[in-house]
Chain A
Amino acid sequence: MFSMKNDLVIAAWNAIEPNDSQDARILSAILSANRSERKRKEKTMLHTKKLLIPAVCLVLLAVVGIVGIRLNWFTASREPIEAESEGAPVNDTECKVPNPILDEELDAAFGYLFPTEIEEGFVLTEEGIGLYSDNADALHAEHRVLKATYYNEELDDTLLIQVAPSAYFGGYLKNMPYGVVQYGDPQTDGTRSSMIFFENDGITILYQFGKTDIAALDAEAAERFYAMVHSARYFYRISPAESEENDEIDIDG
């Protein structure tokens, strides 16, 4: 690569070079700049290291925050949230509650009492099924209420199913016998709600029609309604032979 193309030019250029004093001044300036640059960089690195721990903490906090918000760790709303698919609702812990309820967590708390078969004619309303917390601070089963509202076109009435720890219903059901149709106060239009509830292991399920008298359902409608009630696994698992020894519920009152 290096070829002497013109000796005269080369010789002339060779005369150009810094003398000793220039050399010393230039080198001194360069080394001084190098030292101050090293000092500056080291300071920056030290500063960066100091900021690293708080920065990592902030990032972790942000990650926890984002994940927490997505999983609703920090909120406990009483309002159910609509699910993404098929209108199935989700509870306030984003737990999907299909119909019938199959979610394992729910099974443990409410699953034995909730009907596994919803009879034809009962259609989930817009509110659908939702899990509500009656205590924003705790979402354990004992603090949750499952509400499912259906509309029956034939009856032109709504059916509200509620499952909750018996204590939740408190005085409302006090002194009311299980498995017996009960009635609410008459409304201005003369109708009154009717309800029937069953209990197992401290969990109560309540069926409540808005204006239909459960006791006065015609044979076919009554059969469908009680078939739905019977479809709950709590009833299903009790065989007729065992029923006398076990606390089978006389749902016909």
Chain B
Amino acid sequence: MKRSLLRTDKEITELYARHKGTVYRVCFAYLKNNADTEDAVSETFIRLIRSVPAFESAEHEKAWLIRTASNVCKNQLKHWWRKREDIDRCYDLPDMAKVETNEVLETVLALPDRYKAAVYLYYYEGYTGAEIAGILKQPQSTVRNHLREARAILKERLGDVFDEE
């Protein structure tokens, strides 16, 4: 699956279809509103087009997109003009579809930013701590700590609803 050449529109459309859900969720976890998430998702895929990376496998491609999406969102949050949006605001945006949220999602989205990607990858994507460390380019110990602390927060806030395995 090694690719390093320019992609056709068809290839880009297929690549987007494969990973749009994952990238969107990662971005939404950080940015918490549809408008910014839309921009971040676009930016992530555009980075892929411009940097023309050569992927060794589908998993490599996915991991690259997750890490890039995470970096794009962190960069957005660093901007001085950036106002952190509350999760409730996404309901108020006029042209955006409403996001069905529930208590669990709100609690997850309210986690500190540094935990979000790890929590998403661990609980939703099913990656192990070592794999998450590889994707996010972080030490395994850091990922383990983030997951442990995030788990403690979720358990505290969700109580019995959060079924920790």
Contact = CB atoms under 8 A, between A and B. Distances in A.
Interface of A: 1-13, 15-19, 21-23, 25-27, 29-31, 33-35, 37-38, 41
Contact of B9 (A4, A25, A31): A31
9 contacts: A2-B125, A9-B124, A11-B104, A13-B120, A16-B24, A16-B99, A16-B105, A29-B42, A30-B46
Contact of B24 (A17, A29, A34): A17
B21 to A, nearest CB: 5
Contacts of A29: 42, 46
Contact of A22 (B25, B97, B102, B124): B97
A10 B99 contact: no
B60 to A, nearest CB: 14
B49 A34 contact: yes
Interface residues on B, range: 35 or more
B156 to A, nearest CB: 15
Contacts of B9: 31, 34-35
B55 interface: no
Interface of B: 6-7, 9, 12-13, 16, 20-21, 24-25, 28-29, 34, 37-38, 41-42, 45-46, 49-50, 96-97, 99-102, 104-105, 108, 119-120, 122-128, 131, 158, 161-165
Would you list the 9 A-B pairs with minimal beta carbon distance, nearest first?
A12-B105, A2-B126, A19-B97, A9-B123, A12-B104, A29-B42, A33-B46, A30-B45, A13-B124
A41 B6 CA distance: 8
A72 B41 CA distance: 64
A5 B122 contact: yes
Given A18-B38, A30-B46, A12 B108 contact: yes
Contacts of B100: 15
Contacts of B13: 27, 31
Contacts of B104: 8-9, 11-12
B165 A6 contact: yes
A12 B102 contact: yes
A93 B124 CA distance: 79
A17 B16 CA distance: 13
Contact of B34 (A3, A22, A37): A22
Contacts of A19: 97
Nearest to A19: B97
A16 B38 contact: no
A33 B49 CA distance: 8
Nearest to A27: B16
Q: Which of A1, A13, A35 counts the most B-chain CB atoms under 10 A from its CB?
A: A13
A12 B122 CA distance: 14
Nearest to B12: A34
Given A1-B128, A22-B34, A8 B49 contact: no
A37 B6 CA distance: 8
A196 B134 CA distance: 92
Contact of B38 (A12, A15, A26, A38): A26
Contacts of A25: 38, 42
B145 to A, nearest CB: 18
A22 to B, nearest CB: 5
A38 B9 CA distance: 10
